[in-house]
Amino acid sequence: MIRRRKALKNIGLITGGILTLPYNCSFEPQISYSNFPLLKKKEQDLIADICDIILPTDFNNFPTLETREHFVLTMINDCLDNEKRIEFSVGLNSFQNEIFEVKKNNFHDLSLDEKNNIVAKFIDNEKSEIGIFLNYLKHYSLIHFETSENYMINYLNYEFMPGRYHGGVKVKV
């Protein structure tokens, strides 16, 4: 009798766990950054939108191994010291507050012209918190573009081998 109760209890727990699993788990892969543990998916999407406004991505002509958002956030996470990461976070929060106060809307919901105007307005002011934030995004977006294979080969004449091989050249002894 006790085994039957225990078995029914276990079956109920397993069934309840399986039924609540889709509600508790997110099936979208989300990258977490060690120095920005509180950076949510919404903020990562905001950074991706801003980077795309600063320098539009063209995967057909300039393919890269990773998305611009992932590259920029990885560089900011790994390359900036603690003080500059704090400046970046403060600028991100100030940018979000400014958008909400001025437009009463999310950045993602704005038109392309409004997005361009907002970014152009703040990116020139390098002394403000928002200007510092946007200039970090601009700097790392440009580096991401310049490290694409097509740009390096066709515009910089970069060769990926450490020297050209001339197989038909005679060697003097």
pLDDT, average across residues 150-158: 82
pTM of the model: 0.73
Tell me the helix, strand and coil percentages in the chain, rounded to 5.
65, 0, 35
Comparing 64-78, 120-134, 154-168, the range with the smallest average pLDDT is 154-168
| 79: its two tokens | 């390359």
Tell me whether residue 52 is exposed, middle or buried, using C-beta atoms within 10 angstroms of its C-beta: 0 to 12, 13 to 18, 19 or more.
middle
pLDDT, average across residues 84-91: 91
Q: Higher confidence at residue 165 or residue 41? A: 41
Output the pLDDT for position 24: 57
The confidence band for 141, taking pLDDT boundaries of 50, 70 and 90, is: very high
Residue bearing tokens 């106060």: 101
